[in-house]
Amino acid sequence: MFDGLILLIWTLIKIVLIIVPLLIAVAYFTLAERKVIGSMQVRVGPNRVGWCGLLQPFADLFKLLTKEVIVPTNSSRFLFLIAPVLSLAPAFAAWAVIPFSDQLVLADINAGLLYVLAMTSLGVYGVIIAGWASNSKYAFLGSMRSAAQIVAYEIAMGFALIGVLMLSGSLNMREIVLAQGGGIGHWFVVPLFPLAIVYFISGVAETNRAPFDVAEGESEIVAGFHVDYSGMAFAVFFLAEYANMIMISALMTIMFLGGWLSPIDGVGDGFHWFLIKTAFSMFLFLWFRATFPRYRYDQIMRLGWKVFIPVTIVWIAVVGVAVFYGVEPWFDIRDLQTAGQAALEVASGDGS
Amino acid sequence: MSFQLFIFYVFAIIMVFAAARVITVRNPVYAAMFLVLTFFTAAAIWMLLEAEFLAVTLVLVYVGAVMVLFLFVVMMLDINVEPLREGFVKYLPVGILVGSIMFLEMVFLLTQRYFPSENFPAPAAKPANYSNTEELGRLLYSDYLFHFEVAALILMVAIVAAIALTMRRRSDTKYQRPGLQVQVKKEDRLRVVSMDTESKS
């Protein structure tokens, strides 16, 4: 009984230790976005609040907190208010299985990758419900676009991850990272390059970011699904969107960029490499937004169904053949598996 | 009552409540959302049975994909609730028949007369590193390969049939050819007209 209580408290502390840095990261990600896009467009970006604009996210936050949350008449009040929560909760819940380094993980479960896929697929409910509950045509159009887009790209995303599963032989996130040991040449981004590209672009589409932001589409449907939201409810939607972007970057790091492993084999592995790689992927999101024009809707569907899915299926077949014949140096997975298991045993031996 | 049993009852109560609301709530969108809640709690109960692969797959497939499309359709259709209620009495005998058959089946199982629980001992608890995803995969692709392939074939036929049933080629549909669109040059679209400047008078 007492042990259970201690476990509960300890888990809660760990959750806080993940959520609080995540919230701070989201806050400064918004600032980084404005700064990066500003400098790409030869502007300064926000620089008034605090030193070099470093307090800008908090100024934005307090402004949104003090605004009124308006519930439109004829809207479905309960669903309208619960929609932001529905989009935020999966964005946070998925972080439970992310291994930050060899020891730093909240829940080291066997079906970790499936869990992440399940959680990220739940995020679409917030968008759909928001669009319907607002009782507004713009919001509804936005949510319909988003639902179709997310369902389409989820398939390509799942297929891209099958390649990762075939090479790592595990659904456990920690073992996936350990299977990529042996320097930068052994990260899955090299043998699975097409899948990595498909995965990341699908991730951009899943999070409704530019150039796939037709769900918001300011120039066509005002602001899409959150057109009727204000104040804190609006802020929660943005929080979910940015948390999802960081999530996709972290997953990209774990699946394809070797997680916490250093580019040179065995030299200074650790949490800092995870941070650097995730920050790089996050920067790509901002770079895309600053440089690409928005896709037309039919082009999005064409890219998802007619380009990405065939590419992933072909590459899965290639990986299957290569693994069957054990092509050196990437596809001889028996060595990798034994190496991974040995590393796991060493790690668990150190931990206990 | 152990902690696990307590959790089970919490989930079971939520699930029964949500399942009941699916058929009693007036708004179809709310009904779909309650169905989502039912699936989710069912997944949680499966998780208690140590069937984590099935639980996660239930969330991934039914909650993450099937119900999204379901909700999509329910929202697009302008469903008037009142006509749906009118059929209630008409379909009541069928409903009672199905319900009573299910009830009888449950009675057979639960009264222990024909399926005594001695024949079905509780499975031993698996160690923490036991992965039933791996075991399922191994069984599906070795012992039950034929059944698995037959199931895949049936699904394939269903997909083809669904597409064949819904696809209608209309003569006035306009298609875009992205290959041609990409190859468009300036000369195809733009005509530069040179003309003298106009004077005011």
In sequence order, the 6+-apart residues with CB closer than 8 A to the CB of A300 are A149, A152, A205, A212, A214
Residue of A4, A114, A124 with shortest CB distance to B68: A124
pLDDT of residue A352: 38
With CA atoms as reference, the chain B residue closest to A117 would be B60
Q: Identify residues of A whose CB sits under 8 angstroms from chain B CBs.
A: 4, 76, 79, 109-111, 114-115, 117-118, 121-122, 124-125, 128-129, 132, 140, 144, 147-148, 150-151, 154, 171, 298-299, 302
pLDDT of residue B100: 93
Residues with Cβ within 8 Å of A158's Cβ and at least 6 positions away in sequence, in order, are: A117
Strongest mean pLDDT among A124-138, A218-232, B151-165:
B151-165
Question: What tokens appear for A199 in the block?
Answer: 């995965």
Q: Which residues from chain B sit within 8 angstroms of residue A118, using beta carbons?
A: 56, 59-60, 63-64
Res. A214: pLDDT tops 80: no
Quote the pLDDT of residue B154: 95
Look at B133 and A117 and tell me if their CB atoms are within 8 Å: no
* Predicted local confidence at residue A338, as pLDDT: 53
**pLDDT band (50, 70, 90) for residue A350:** very low
With a cut of 70, say whether residue B81 has pLDDT above it. no
Mean pLDDT of A35-63: 86
Percent of chain A with pLDDT over 70: 92
Per the CB < 8 A criterion, the answer to whether A214 and A145 are in contact is yes
Mean predicted confidence (pLDDT) in A181-203: 85
Contact criterion met (CB < 8 Å) for A76 and B29: yes
What is the mean predicted confidence (pLDDT) over A18-24? Answer: 88
The string of pLDDT tens digits covering residues B162-172 is 988 888 777 78
Task: Report whether pLDDT(B101) > 90.
Answer: yes
Q: Per-residue pLDDT for B156 more than 90?
A: yes
Q: What is the pLDDT of residues A217-243, one digit of tens each?
A: 677 777 777 778 888 888 888 888 898
**Number of Cβ atoms within 10 Å of the Cβ of A302:** 16
Q: Looking at the predicted structure, is the pLDDT value of residue A59 above 80? A: yes
pLDDT digits (tens, 9 = 90+) for A143-190: 888 888 888 888 888 888 888 888 887 788 888 888 887 777 778 888
8 Å CB contact of A114 and B65: no
Residue bearing tokens 């007036």: B26
Residues of chain A in contact with residue B27, where contact means CB-CB under 8 angstroms, are 76
Q: Hey, are the CB atoms on A118 and B56 less than 8 Å from each other?
A: yes
Residue scoring higher pLDDT (B10 or B199)? B10
Residue B38 has a pLDDT of: 92
Question: Average pLDDT, whole number, for chain A?
Answer: 82
Angle subtended at Cα A282 by Cα A228 and Cα A39, rounded to the nearest 5 degrees? 85
* Percentage of residues of chain A with pLDDT beyond 90: 3
Residue range B11-25: average pLDDT? Answer: 88
Interface touch B63/A299, C-beta < 8 Å: no
pLDDT at B51 exceeding the cut of 50: yes
Contact B68 A117 (CB under 8 A): no
Q: Check residue A116 and give its pLDDT.
A: 87
Q: Which has the higher per-residue pLDDT, B86 or A235?
A: A235
Q: Helices H, strands E: what count in chain A?
A: 14, 0
pLDDT at B84 (0 to 100) = 64
In angstroms, the separation between the Cα of residue B65 and the nearest Cα of chain A is 7
* CB nearest to B60's CB, from A76, A117, A147: A117
Packing angle of the helix pair B67-76, A137-168 (nearest 10 deg): 170
Q: What is the pLDDT of residue A347?
A: 53
CA distance A99 to A101: 5
Residue B157 has pLDDT above 90, yes or no: yes
Question: Complex ipTM, two decimals?
Answer: 0.77
Chain B: closest CA distance from residue A10 (Å): 18
Tell if the CB–CB gap between A118 and B60 is shorter than 8 Å. yes
A340 pLDDT above the threshold of 70:
no
Residue A110: its pLDDT value, please? 77
Q: Under a CB-based contact definition with an 8 Å cutoff, are residues A93 and A18 in contact?
A: no
Q: What percentage of chain B carries pLDDT values higher than 70?
A: 91
Q: For residue A194, with 0-12 CB atoms within 10 Å meaning exposed, 13-18 middle and 19 or more buried, which class applies?
A: middle
Distance from CA of A17 to the nearest CA of B (A): 25
Domain ranges, ordered by start, for chain B: 130-166
Q: Is the pLDDT confidence value at A289 over 70?
A: yes
> Are A174 and A108 in contact, with CB atoms under 8 Å apart?
yes
pLDDT of the residue at B98:
93
Q: For residue B17, is pLDDT > 80?
A: yes
Please state the rounded mean pLDDT for residues B76-94: 73
Sign of the Cα torsion A281, A286, A292, A296 reads positive
Is pLDDT at A346 greater than 60 in this prediction?
no
What confidence tens digit (pLDDT) does each residue in A76-122 have?
A: 788 888 888 888 888 888 888 888 877 777 777 777 888 888 888 88
